[in-house]
Amino acid sequence: MNQRKLEITMFSSADKVAGQGVGSAYLEQVNLLKSQASELFDIKINDWFAKADIKHFHTIDPAFLVPMLDKKAVKVAYCHFLPDTVIDGSLKIPSAFQPLTSHYIIHFYNMADHLVVVNPSFIPDLVRYGIPREKITYIPNYVSKEKFHSLGQAKKEETRQKYNIPEDAFIALGVGQVQTRKGVLDFCEVAKLCPEITFVWAGGFSFGAMTDGYEKLKALMENPPANVRFIGIIDRSEMVS
């Protein structure tokens, strides 16, 4: 007798903002499940009216608090960040709203039946915030080998030409949003100490002027060390290059 498929509804707005890792992780997981586990799961996206065995929240939109109230479904939430990482070094949030922001994030996580963290270092902090350890599981982000693999020398040379990088340059590559907590300032300081290396940063301001330290980082991007290149937000389809 065939077992019934599990009905899963994914809730996410992560793919609405280009150049952020949460969106990439979300799309990778959905594609993985649809391509490799279609016989086990029936997946719907942002379907508020569909009956579901599992409701899986990839982002913490306030609107998603409504489907979180469904007592018939198991609610799973991804934890891609902590209040500390949002307030310190990611987004510019007025000090008066920081306690409210912190409270909301932890409240959302607490409403879920289970949390999945992409970084195991988050676990003790979540426990410190009062979330039971037994409801937290670490699962690293999945990356498709079909999309990310070696392209060979010819493609490497073509990409270097596209960005005007010498063929014989030794490259140190940084990938991520231009944020203080991503290490952009350290990246440039190290570049100053290693003038023989070309430092390339792929990424930009996904959240614009809301980024914490925006003015300082923007000035750095406009006038970087001589051996640093900021090439902006790269479409995911081009990231392997």
Q: Is the pLDDT of residue 28 over 60?
A: yes
- State residue 97's pLDDT score: 61
- The domain tally of the chain equals 2
Same structural domain for residues 19 and 127? Answer: yes
- State residue 207's pLDDT score: 67
Under the banding of pLDDT at 50, 70 and 90, the label for residue 224 is very high
Token pair 């350290």 in the structure block, residue: 186
Structure tokens at 89: 């070094």
pTM: predicted TM-score of the whole model, two decimal places: 0.74
Give tens-digit pLDDT for 117-133. Answer: 988 999 999 999 999 99
Give the CATH number, domain containing residue 131.
3.40.50.2000
Question: How far is 53 from 70, CA to CA, in rounded Å?
Answer: 10
Question: How far is 56 from 139, CA to CA, in rounded Å?
Answer: 14
Under the banding of pLDDT at 50, 70 and 90, the label for residue 30 is confident
Is 224 inside a domain boundary?
A: yes
Token pair 């063929």 in the structure block, residue: 167
Same structural domain for residues 230 and 203? Answer: yes
Give tens-digit pLDDT for 49-59. Answer: 899 999 999 98
- State residue 21's pLDDT score: 66
What is the number of residues in the chain?
A: 241
Boundary (domain end) residue, out of 90, 105, 138: 138
- State residue 74's pLDDT score: 96
Q: Is the pLDDT of residue 77 over 90?
A: yes
Boundary (domain end) residue, out of 87, 110, 138: 138
Cβ(101)–Cβ(93) below 8 Å: yes
Under the banding of pLDDT at 50, 70 and 90, the label for residue 177 is confident
Is 193 inside a domain boundary?
A: yes
Which range, of 21-30, 79-88, 151-160, averages the lowest pLDDT?
79-88
Which range, of 4-8, 41-45, 211-215, averages the lowest pLDDT?
211-215
- State residue 146's pLDDT score: 81
Same structural domain for residues 100 and 187? Answer: no
Which range, of 74-78, 100-104, 119-123, 152-156, averages the lowest pLDDT?
100-104
Q: What are phi and psi of 118, to 5 degrees?
A: -95, -5
Q: Own/partner pairs for 59-65, CB < 8 Å, 24+ apart?
A: 59/11, 59/12, 59/13, 59/14, 59/22, 59/26, 60/104, 60/105, 60/108, 60/109, 61/11, 61/13, 62/104, 64/11, 64/108, 65/108, 65/111
Same structural domain for residues 181 and 82? Answer: no
What stretches of the chain adopt beta strand conformation (E)? 6-11, 41-45, 54-57, 74-79, 114-117, 136-138, 171-175, 198-202, 228-232
Domain enclosing residue 164, as ranges: 153-235
* pLDDT averaged over every residue in the chain: 87
Structure tokens at 170: 């030794």
Is 143 inside a domain boundary?
A: no
- State residue 1's pLDDT score: 47
